[in-house]
Amino acid sequence: MAEENTIYIGKKATMNYVLAVVSQLNSGCEGVCIKARGRAISRAVDVAEIVRNRFAQGLNYHDVKIATESLPGHDGTNANVSSIEIYLSK
Protein backbone atom coordinates (compact mmCIF):
# COMPACT_ATOMS: atom_id res chain seq x y z
CA MET A 1 0.00 0.00 0.00
CA ALA A 2 1.27 3.47 -0.86
CA GLU A 3 2.83 5.49 1.95
CA GLU A 4 0.33 8.36 1.46
CA ASN A 5 -2.58 6.11 2.44
CA THR A 6 -1.08 5.56 5.88
CA ILE A 7 -2.47 7.31 8.95
CA TYR A 8 -0.13 7.42 11.96
CA ILE A 9 -1.91 7.45 15.31
CA GLY A 10 -0.42 9.64 18.04
CA LYS A 11 -1.66 11.44 21.13
CA LYS A 12 -4.42 13.61 19.63
CA ALA A 13 -8.12 12.94 20.23
CA THR A 14 -9.45 9.79 18.57
CA MET A 15 -11.91 11.69 16.36
CA ASN A 16 -9.09 13.67 14.71
CA TYR A 17 -7.72 10.42 13.33
CA VAL A 18 -11.18 9.14 12.42
CA LEU A 19 -11.65 12.29 10.34
CA ALA A 20 -8.26 11.80 8.68
CA VAL A 21 -9.13 8.21 7.71
CA VAL A 22 -12.59 9.17 6.41
CA SER A 23 -11.12 12.04 4.32
CA GLN A 24 -8.53 9.66 2.90
CA LEU A 25 -11.27 7.21 1.88
CA ASN A 26 -13.46 9.98 0.41
CA SER A 27 -10.55 11.18 -1.73
CA GLY A 28 -10.89 7.95 -3.72
CA CYS A 29 -8.47 5.57 -1.98
CA GLU A 30 -9.40 1.89 -2.10
CA GLY A 31 -8.01 1.37 1.38
CA VAL A 32 -6.02 2.85 4.23
CA CYS A 33 -3.38 1.63 6.65
CA ILE A 34 -3.57 2.74 10.29
CA LYS A 35 -0.26 2.53 12.16
CA ALA A 36 0.49 2.99 15.83
CA ARG A 37 3.12 2.21 18.44
CA GLY A 38 3.04 1.60 22.19
CA ARG A 39 0.09 2.99 24.08
CA ALA A 40 -1.43 4.51 20.94
CA ILE A 41 -2.25 0.94 19.78
CA SER A 42 -5.58 0.90 21.61
CA ARG A 43 -6.47 4.26 20.05
CA ALA A 44 -5.66 2.84 16.59
CA VAL A 45 -8.10 -0.01 17.20
CA ASP A 46 -10.74 2.52 18.34
CA VAL A 47 -10.19 4.59 15.17
CA ALA A 48 -10.56 1.55 12.92
CA GLU A 49 -13.73 0.39 14.67
CA ILE A 50 -15.36 3.85 14.67
CA VAL A 51 -14.63 4.28 10.95
CA ARG A 52 -16.03 0.84 10.16
CA ASN A 53 -19.15 1.07 12.30
CA ARG A 54 -20.16 4.69 11.80
CA PHE A 55 -18.65 6.12 8.64
CA ALA A 56 -17.77 3.46 6.09
CA GLN A 57 -19.96 0.40 6.52
CA GLY A 58 -18.58 -1.46 3.48
CA LEU A 59 -15.04 -1.41 4.84
CA ASN A 60 -13.37 -4.63 5.96
CA TYR A 61 -10.17 -5.64 7.71
CA HIS A 62 -7.77 -6.74 5.04
CA ASP A 63 -5.00 -7.54 7.51
CA VAL A 64 -3.83 -6.75 11.04
CA LYS A 65 -0.07 -6.98 11.65
CA ILE A 66 1.69 -6.91 14.98
CA ALA A 67 5.42 -6.35 15.36
CA THR A 68 8.17 -5.01 17.61
CA GLU A 69 10.22 -1.95 16.74
CA SER A 70 13.54 -1.15 18.35
CA LEU A 71 13.81 2.57 19.08
CA PRO A 72 16.84 4.41 20.49
CA GLY A 73 16.06 5.54 24.05
CA HIS A 74 17.26 8.64 25.92
CA ASP A 75 20.24 6.87 27.47
CA GLY A 76 21.59 5.47 24.20
CA THR A 77 20.19 1.97 24.68
CA ASN A 78 17.42 0.59 22.50
CA ALA A 79 13.86 0.24 23.75
CA ASN A 80 11.53 -2.33 22.24
CA VAL A 81 8.08 -0.99 21.42
CA SER A 82 5.15 -2.98 20.04
CA SER A 83 3.48 -1.71 16.90
CA ILE A 84 0.31 -2.45 14.97
CA GLU A 85 -0.66 -1.99 11.33
CA ILE A 86 -4.36 -2.21 10.51
CA TYR A 87 -5.22 -2.47 6.81
CA LEU A 88 -8.78 -1.48 5.93
CA SER A 89 -10.10 -1.88 2.40
CA LYS A 90 -13.37 -1.57 0.49
Give the pairing of strands 6-8 and 78-89.
unpaired
Give the one residue of 49, 71, 79, 90 binding its own copies; rule: CB under 8 A: 49
Q: CB-wise, 28 or 61, nearer to its own copies?
A: 61
Residue 67 binds its own copies, judged by CB under 8 A: yes
Cα maximum dimension of the chain: 46
Shortest Å distance, C-beta 23 to its own copies = 21
What are the E-state strand segments in 1-90?
A: 6-8, 31-37, 60-72, 78-89
Give the total of residues touching its own copies (CB under 8 A): 20
Q: CB-wise, 20 or 44, nearer to its own copies?
A: 44
Cα angle: 19, vertex 11, 76; to 5 degrees? 140
Residues binding its own copies (CB under 8 A): 38-42, 45-46, 48-49, 53, 61, 64-68, 80, 82, 84, 86
